[in-house]
A and B are shown apart, each in its own frame.
Chain A
């Protein structure tokens, strides 16, 4: 058995925002020994698979759960960004109309499928729904600034989220490669045993 430790997460960060890094395995035999498995015992295969399942497949499952959570967050943010852009658009239109000294005539939905006409006279302010049953009146400039800041924040969070997802997916790939290699190693091992028995 090789004495040097060959399983470590070489070169990568150990975790990112609470997501632990997967262990990269360089030498399968050493790795299994470190898990406390006797690779040479007669029952090795069953024991190996069981312990391996506990350790690695569980981890993979956890990664998948986190991935789903992050994907949901990503979808939310991706929907939020065009919404904010739409808000900015209408605020800009109101401002442009005001500067031109015109009223904005708009058809709006009063109930599903029923529209009414509104005439929005020169207006200095809009009301922003801030959530939690709170609506605040802002001047158009302030509303524009606030919405722009929200847009920036949403884009920044999306960037971070995408980086998180990439990190997570790397860990999933590392784990999958490890699983494949341990299974291969086992198959290989049993072939050798078979060959020695027959000889």
Chain B
């Protein structure tokens, strides 16, 4: 958000608002990247668990709820796992969607701000 040396362009409150918005979106973008990474890992772990479940032939499994491993019949575990996987993939989808919107909004703001301030403003990451 630094302006390079050059002639002074008048910055209005509206411009400042746009810069603030861009900064907020940029922040959110980084948060989203982290959240997406975590969500992906979560998805993978659940996937692994589900694969292990297929391989195991025990009827009673230990499933962690809270801090303890509860003994549960196989079909209950399958049901729970399925539900968790569904939620996890929905969550990931939601985050990916938000990332797209954020990127689109950032591109639009870049267009407006570069249009006005030319090279007096730098909106790129180092």
Contacts and interface: CB of A to CB of B under 8 A. Distances in A.
Query: Do A and B come from the same complex?
Result: yes
A173 B23 contact: yes
Main secondary structure of the interface of A (DSSP, over half): helix
Contacts of B13: 10-11, 24, 26
Contacts of B6: 184
Interface residues of B, number: 27
Given A104-B70, A109-B67, A170-B23, A26 B12 contact: yes
A107 interface: yes
A170 B8 CA distance: 22
Interface residues of A, number: 32
B8 A173 contact: no
A11 to B, nearest CB: 6
Nearest to A90: B66
Main secondary structure of the interface of B (DSSP, over half): mixed
A105 B66 contact: no
Interface in B1-60: 1-3, 5-8, 10-13, 16-17, 19-20, 23-24, 27
B68 A181 contact: no
B1 A173 contact: yes
Given A166-B24, A173-B23, A184-B3, A107 B62 contact: yes
Interface in A159-199: 166, 169-170, 173-174, 176-177, 180-181, 184-185, 187-188
B67 A108 contact: yes
Given A173-B19, A188-B8, 15 more contacts: A11-B17, A24-B13, A24-B16, A26-B10, A26-B12, A90-B68, A106-B70, A107-B71, A108-B69, A170-B24, A176-B2, A180-B1, A180-B2, A184-B3, A185-B8
